[in-house]
Structure formats: C-alpha cells, structure tokens
C-alpha cells in the first residue's frame, strides 16, 4: 500500500504547525525543546516524503537532521537540568535574568 505524497506533506505541515504553536505559546523550557524536536522531525518527514516520490537522495540529509535533533535534545536537556538546579521553575521568561 502506497501513501500519496500529498498526505505525507499535509502530515508534515500539521506536525510543524503544532511544534510552532508549542514554541510560541508555551513558557516551559522542556515543552519548548520538545516542540523544536517536533518541528525538526516534521522536516525529516517532508524530506523522506519527497525522496519517495521523486527518487532524490534525501536519506543522508534526513539522517543528518535527525543527528542534529538528537544533539539538540541532549544539550538542551543538559541546560534544562543545570537551570533547574539553580532556579525553582523552568519558565522561559526568567531567561532574561541569566548572566554570562
């Protein structure tokens, strides 16, 4: 059974929109990171969908994007753990109090 590429792109756009709403509307740092990962995975889904319909070499690019997403998750969760250790909340608005 073959899925039409329009369905794959609509799903990818929907996932990206959900992730974008999560980044804009949420104030919790963990939800912002998860929404960013959702947006990256929506991009990977679109790349794989284009590859299946047009026969282009998108697997390597999709793997690179997935590796970047994993690295972002690891580094982001490390920052979240350090932030939570120093503060009581994960509110994004409190980021203005950070000093280097």
pTM across the whole model: 0.75
Q: How sure is the predictor about 13, in pLDDT bands with cuts at 50, 70 and 90?
A: very high
Q: In angstroms, rounded to a whole number, what is the distance separating the alpha carbons of residues 88 and 83?
A: 9
For residue 36, the enclosing domain spans 5-87
CATH number, position 64: 1.10.287.3510
Q: In angstroms, rounded to a whole number, what is the distance separating the alpha carbons of residues 48 and 54?
A: 10
Structural domains in the chain (count): 1
Residue 100 lies in a domain: no
Could you tell me the CA-to-CA distances from 29 to 34, 76, 89 in Å, in that order?
A: 9, 9, 9
pLDDT in tens, 28-56: 888 888 898 899 889 888 888 888 777 77
Residue 96 lies in a domain: no
According to the 3-state scheme, what is the secondary structure of 57-97?
A: CCHHHHHHHHHHHHHHHHHHHHHHHHHHHHCCCCEHHHHHH
């Amino acid at each position: 059974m073959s899925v039409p590429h329009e369905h794959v792109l609509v799903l990818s756009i929907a996932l990206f929109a959900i992730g974008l709403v999560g980044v804009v509307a949420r104030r919790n740092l963990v939800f912002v990171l998860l929404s960013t990962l959702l947006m990256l995975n929506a991009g990977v889904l679109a790349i794989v969908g284009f590859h299946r319909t047009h026969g282009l070499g998108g697997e390597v690019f999709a793997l690179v994007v997935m590796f970047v997403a994993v690295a972002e998750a690891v580094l982001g969760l490390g920052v979240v753990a350090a932030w939570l250790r120093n503060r009581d909340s994960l509110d994004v608005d409190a980021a203005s109090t950070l000093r280097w």
